[in-house]
Structure 1
């Protein structure tokens, strides 16, 4: 997926917000919590997302994917798609949506209610 396609996908998720942080990275949040970062890395063509423990273990060793620098080194389960072959577009969208869902699930009931989620 191109950076533009990724930003369109992330922005379309319910109650997603966008800020530019860390240089030129597009950071997508829900309820004030990050679920995806697009463009952080040497090439600027990366996408970083939260992963379940199982997905983190599987994806960490896949070509074009790695534990996200900075985030994973702090014990967080985040994956960075940084090179080819990486994930097919459909699978990448599924993992970003799963990241979004994990973040939403971690919000308080009141916050989810306030957001209509």
Structure 2
């Protein structure tokens, strides 16, 4: 069974992403087609809008129905194509703290690599999840070779 993922939905002039994707409110001159005004949790469309334009990010569907975002061939976030559970890499120091929170667990099969799984995304603010995903990208990117990091271009940890 093949799943088709819609292309990025929050595109503006010259293909740039809408800067207000979290609020779901269109900014003058931008067209926002499918972005939900969800303030809690995160949808696959919001995930695509958040990290789909970061340097070197690729997306793929693995294991039949999981939307996987990678940088340099290494995964940093995984979510079913229909939404729900979300898994991503976290700092070693925050792994126990985050996996002990209600709504989060150590990610099955990936806990040893310090991944958490958000089993109840609606418990968390969209902005909080977005920041954790941004951190996951930064952690995975930092483990790439210096040459590959240079090829990807500049990256700021600030949103």
TM-score normalised to the size of structure 2? 0.65
Equivalenced residue count is 113
Residues 66-85 of structure 1: pairs in structure 2 closer than 5 A: 66-72=105-111, 75-85=112-122
Q: Which structure 2 residue ranges, 5 or more long, are not aligned? A: 1-41, 155-159
Tell me, yes or no, if the aligned pair for 1:65 and 1:86 is still in contact at 8 Å: no
1:37 to 78, 87, 101: 78
Matches within 5 A, 1:3-18: 3-18=44-59
Report the alpha carbon displacement of residue 84 of structure 1 after superposing the two structures with TM. Answer: 4.9
Aligned residue number for residue 112 of structure 1 = 149
Deviation at 1:12, TM superposition (A): 2.4
Q: Secondary structure at the match of 2:113?
A: coil
Separation in 1, partners of 2:121, 2:130: 16
In the alignment, the residues of structure 2 paired with residue 76 and residue 89 of structure 1 have an alpha-carbon distance, to the nearest angstrom, of: 24
In structure 2, how many angstroms separate the alpha carbons of the residues matched to 1:82 and 1:65? 6
Unmatched tracts of structure 1, length 5 or more: none
Conservation of the 8 A alpha-carbon contact between 2:43 and 2:83: no
Kindly state the Cα deviation for residue 55 of structure 1 after the two structures are TM-superposed.
1.7
Q: Which has the larger radius of gyration?
A: 2
Aligned-pair CA distance for 1:86:
3.5
The higher-RCO structure (CA 8 Å, 6+ apart) is: 1
Partner of 1:60: 99
Partner deviation per Cα, 1:29-88 (whole Å, 9 max, x = no partner): 111111111118xx851111001122211111111111111111xx11001111155421
Higher strand proportion (structure 1 or 2): 1
1:95 maps to 2:132: yes
With over 3 angstroms needed to count, the CA separation of the structure-2 counterparts of 1:91 and 1:44, relative to structure 1, is closer
TM-score (norm 1): 0.87
Greater fraction of residues in helix:
1
Distance 1:101 1:86, change over 3 A: same
